[in-house]
Amino acid sequence: MITESLLPLTVTRTQWLAFVAALVALVARYSLPWMHKQRLYAAIPAIGPTNPISSYKFAKSKFSTNARTIIEEGARKYRVFRVPQMFGWNIIVSGKQYIDDLRKAPDDQLSFIDALEKTMLMSYFLGSANGDHYTTDIIKHQLARNLPNLFGDIREEILLAFEDKIPPTEDWTKLPAYSTVAQVVAQVTNRILVGVPLCGNKDFLNLNIGFTMEVNKGRQMIQRYPGVLRPLAAKYFTSMPKRREQALRYLLPFIEEKKKSIKEYGKDYPGKLENFLTWIVDEARGEERSSIRLTNRILMMNFAAIHTSSMTFTQALYELAARPQYIPALREEVESVVERYGWSKMALVHMNKLDSLFKESQRINGIGCVTMNRMALKEFTFSDGTRIPEGAIVSVASAPSHLNQEIYPNPDTFDPFRFAKIREEEGQGASNQFVATSNDYVAFGHGKHACPGRFFAANELKAMMAHVILTYDIKLEEDGIKPPNQWSGTSCMPNTRGSVLFRRRRN
Ligand code: HEM
pTM of this structure: 0.94
For residue 374, which atom of ligand 1 is closest to its CA?
A: 15
Distance 136 CA to ligand 1 centre (A): 9
Residue bearing the CA closest to ligand 1, atom 17: 451
pLDDT at 59: 84
Contact indicator for 109, 71 with CB cutoff of 8 Å: no
Domain boundary assignment for the chain? 33-131+369-400
Contact indicator for 400, 71 with CB cutoff of 8 Å: no
Helix (H) or strand (E) holding 81: strand 80-85
Give the whole-angstrom CA distance, residue 207 versus residue 483: 27
pLDDT over 50 (residue 488): yes
pLDDT in tens, 301-337: 999 999 999 999 999 999 999 999 999 999 999 999 9
Is the CB of residue 451 below 6 angstroms from any atom belonging to ligand 1?
Answer: yes
Is the CB of residue 437 below 6 angstroms from any atom belonging to ligand 1?
Answer: no
Give the whole-angstrom CA distance, residue 422 versus residue 433: 10
Contact indicator for 75, 397 with CB cutoff of 8 Å: yes
Distance 189 CA to ligand 1 centre (A): 14
Q: How far apart are the first and last CA of the chain?
A: 111
Give the whole-angstrom CA distance, residue 144 versus residue 150: 10
pLDDT in tens, 29-69: 878 888 999 999 999 999 999 988 888 888 888 888 899 99
CATH number of 33-131+369-400: 3.30.43.20
Which distant-in-sequence residues (6+ apart) come within 8 Å of 147 by Cβ?
345, 455, 456, 459
Q: Rounded to 5 degrees, what are φ and ψ at 162?
A: -70, -40
pLDDT in tens, 210-257: 998 888 888 888 877 878 888 888 888 888 889 999 999 999 999 999
Residue bearing the CA closest to ligand 1, atom 19: 451
CB neighbour class for 138 (10 Å; exposed up to 12, middle 13-18, buried from 19): buried
Residues in the chain: 507
pLDDT at 9: 60
Residue 335, Cβ neighbours under 10 Å: how many? 13
Is the CB of residue 301 below 6 angstroms from any atom belonging to ligand 1?
Answer: yes
pLDDT at 286: 92
Contact indicator for 334, 470 with CB cutoff of 8 Å: yes
Which distant-in-sequence residues (6+ apart) come within 8 Å of 313 by Cβ?
181, 185, 461, 464, 465
Q: What is the ipTM of this complex?
A: 0.99
Report the binding-site residues for heme: 451
Distance 90 CA to ligand 1 centre (A): 21
CA distances from 43 to 109, 199, 377, 389, 405 (A): 20, 52, 19, 11, 30
DSSP assignment, residue 444?
T
Distance 441 CA to ligand 1 centre (A): 14
pLDDT over 60 (residue 129): no
pLDDT at 2: 47
